Amino acid sequence: MPFSDPSDVMELIKSKGYFKRSPVSWNHAFDGASHSNLAISALGGLVDHLSRLMQDDILKNGDVLPCQVYKSCLRMDGQTLVNLDIFNNNADGGTSGTLYKYLDNCLTCSGKRLLRSWICHPLKDVEAINDRLNVLDDLAAKPEFMLFIAQCLRKLPDLDRLLGRAKASVQSPVSFLLPSVGNRVLK
């Protein structure tokens, strides 16, 4: 079954009732993809692998979301990141003198991950860049507010990881878990 004809994959998913609880129809995740037939065939390989592992519940309750990583940002490969000393320097492989080390003033693990993602995928839309800069200017203009936010963020657990663990243990989409996790955080 892996990497078979896309129409066979779509028929299998439909007949088995996979991805029924997904908020968006799974086949719309491939709209606009440059190689949608290859992506659907690859999905067939994943579906086959999970069904052989008897993980049909994951397939029935899972989501297939469109991958839009490079839609609004620049694409930088690993060699570019190395050549520009983004995360490690070329002298000794350490972090001194790197862009990440210079910019990293994050208080939380999720903030560090977000910064890393933003550095790896810099925005290319001028309006989006200016919107981000305007928010930073507004925050910098209110140091007392920044101090309050910093104190609140230090108290938060790593929500990204907690959501991932909860999703893995409950085996349901994140959208169903958000209200319960949100209530626990608010308490």
Range in 19-28, 102-111, 120-129, 169-178 the model is least confident about? 169-178
- In one-letter notation, the amino acid at residue 6 is P
Other Cβ atoms closer than 10 A to 9: 25
pLDDT, position 128: 92
Q: Write the DSSP symbol of residue 123.
A: B
First to last CA, the chain: 48
Q: Is residue 44's pLDDT more than 70?
A: yes
pLDDT, position 174: 53
Cα dihedral 97/99/102/108 (nearest 10): -130
Closest by Cα among 172, 178, 173 to 65: 173
Measure Cα distances from 51 to 27, 59, 65, 67, 137 in Å.
Answer: 19, 8, 19, 23, 50
Average pLDDT, the chain: 80
Can you tell me the mean pLDDT for 132-141?
93
Q: Is residue 125's pLDDT more than 70?
A: yes
Q: Is residue 126's pLDDT more than 70?
A: yes
Binned at pLDDT 50, 70 and 90, residue 62 comes out as: confident
Looking at the whole model, is its pTM more than 0.85? no
Q: Is residue 171's pLDDT more than 70?
A: no
Closest by Cα among 121, 132, 120, 130 to 72: 121
Contacts 24+ apart (CB under 8 A), 160-167: 160/109, 160/110, 160/113, 161/109, 161/110
